[in-house]
A and B are shown apart, each in its own frame.
Chain A
Amino acid sequence: MFIRVEGLHKNFGDIPILRGVDLSVRKGDAVFIIGRSGCGKSTLLRCLNGLESFELGKIHVGNVDVQMSGGQPLSERQIRGLRNQFGMVFQSFNLFPHLNVLENVIKAPMVVKGLSRADAEAIAVPLLEKVGLKSQLFKYPSQISGGQQQRAAIARALAMNPKVMLYDEPTSALDPFLVDEVFQVMRQLADEGMTQIVVTHEHRFAREAADQVIFMEDGLVVEAGPAEQIFHSPKDDRTRVFLRKYA
Chain B
Amino acid sequence: MGRIVLDQVSKRFGDVEVIPPLDLTIEDGEFAVFVGPSGCGKSTLLRMIAGLEDLTSGNIEIDGENVTEVPPSKRGLAMVFQSYALYPHMTVRKNIGFPLRMEKMEQAEIDKRVETAAQSLNLVDYLDRKPGQLSGGQRQRVAIGRAIVRDPSAFLFDEPLSNLDAALRVGMRLEISEMHERMRTTMIYVTHDQVEAMTMANKIVVLQAGRIEQVGSPLDLYHKPQNVFVAGFIGSPKMNIFSGPEAEKHGAHTIGIRPEHTDVSMTEGTWEGRVGVAEHLGSDTFIHVHDTGLADMVTVRITGDISVKHGDKIFLTPRADQIHRFDAQGQRIA
Answer yes or no: do A and B interact.
no
